[in-house]
């Protein structure tokens, strides 16, 4: 039989090592120790990306902001949060207007123009490709 001090020493050994599981068997005993492993979900955030800005109709001051990459469109920073922008929101060039997620990498997209959001062209959670129109903005 293992003494209490021996068991404490085994616990200390497993805590200080990279071991996850330790089994010790004797004639009249069996001891199994398992370290609780914390699963971490890591999310990377990329630098802000400049969204290509394309004039929709010359002279009408309407500008189309398109997707700078392939990914999933999110209108808010997290589920249930207020969207970054909606119809009527005034934006500046550095205003974050949406987030695109590609391979667990979240990229903030900036407006790159001064104006007012006239139309949101994609739905939350929708897959977009490079160049997909995201917003129509009335330039100021």
Neighbour tally for 81: CB within 10 Å: 10
How confident is the model over 18-74, as pLDDT tens digits?
Answer: 777 878 888 888 888 887 655 445 555 555 555 555 555 555 689 999 999 999 999
The pTM for the full model equals 0.59
How confident is the model over 61-108, as pLDDT tens digits?
Answer: 899 999 999 999 999 999 889 999 999 999 999 999 999 999 989 999
Neighbour tally for 111: CB within 10 Å: 26
Query: For 44-139, CATH number?
Result: 2.40.50.100
CA distances from 116 to 19, 44, 79, 135 (A): 57, 30, 24, 10
Q: For the chain, give every domain's residue range.
A: 4-34, 44-139
């Amino acid at each position: 039989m293992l003494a209490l001090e021996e068991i404490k020493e085994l616990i200390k050994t497993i805590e200080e090592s990279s071991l996850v599981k330790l089994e010790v068997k004797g004639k009249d005993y069996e001891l199994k120790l398992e370290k609780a492993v914390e699963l971490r979900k890591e999310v990377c955030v990329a630098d802000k990306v400049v969204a290509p800005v394309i004039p929709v109709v010359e002279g009408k001051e309407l500008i189309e902001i398109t997707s700078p990459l392939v990914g999933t469109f999110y209108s808010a920073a997290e589920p249930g949060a207020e969207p970054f922008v909606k119809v009527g929101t005034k934006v500046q060039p550095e205003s974050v207007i949406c987030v695109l997620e590609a391979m667990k990498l979240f990229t903030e997209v900036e407006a790159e123009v001064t104006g007012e959001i006239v139309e949101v062209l994609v739905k939350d959670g929708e897959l977009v490709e490079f160049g997909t129109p995201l917003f129509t903005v009335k330039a100021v």
